[in-house]
Structure 1
């Protein structure tokens, strides 16, 4: 390696990235099942949405806990302003996801409707924003021999 080689480090730990992968995958899939339910009125699609949102909420809760621990006790890998914004986005995603789960727990057409669809859209956007905040930039550290 050259004397002053630079290497890129990810902004989040591998466990953090794994936990983030679940909401990033499951909230958009729940949105897709909501849209399918609104177009077909087949009740099974709302059941799929309920399970997808419940699992996404579980992993978002773990992600929020991990983000809080990393924010207060972890090495400062992300810039403080960026990590604060990330923490706010994850907390908003968790709260919106829980409210969305309660909305989807209603019976039949009332479970999705406008409110359920909007909350699914918001959860999806927040998950993608959180992923962008973590994975858009890497910290470059210079190695000095």
Structure 2
């Protein structure tokens, strides 16, 4: 029997500040949307897709603390379709969201006088933030 694969990686900018809340268990939840630009050659234009993202636990706390509207972020996770019945129209509705498993905050640090880009990454499995510097030296290590 074949195994299905559900994985998504996107880079985009937050369309608004994250919305944070806590579950009855005390676990944090952060929800936000990112705008992802893509080029359509037949139209010779750039268009935008919008994706809703949900983070849980320590990752949600980090999202709430460090991400703001306009911040560029790389999001890795899985897609989850939510289905419900609209109470007003009695029609079936659905929505696909990204359940974030890891992220990398992209952009220039406020303290980076040298112009060096700084990247921060967080993984759901480790729960730790990697505050290392990122230098793009255009060299492939193999």
Fold shared, TM-score > 0.5 on shorter chain: no
TM bucket (normalised to shorter chain) is under 0.3
* Structure possessing the higher relative contact order (Cα contacts under 8 Å, 6 or more residues apart): 1
Q: Please, what TM-score do these two structures have when normalized by structure 1?
A: 0.20
Identify, as 1 or 2, the structure richer in helix. Answer: 1
TM-score by length of 2: 0.21
Q: Which has the higher strand share?
A: 2
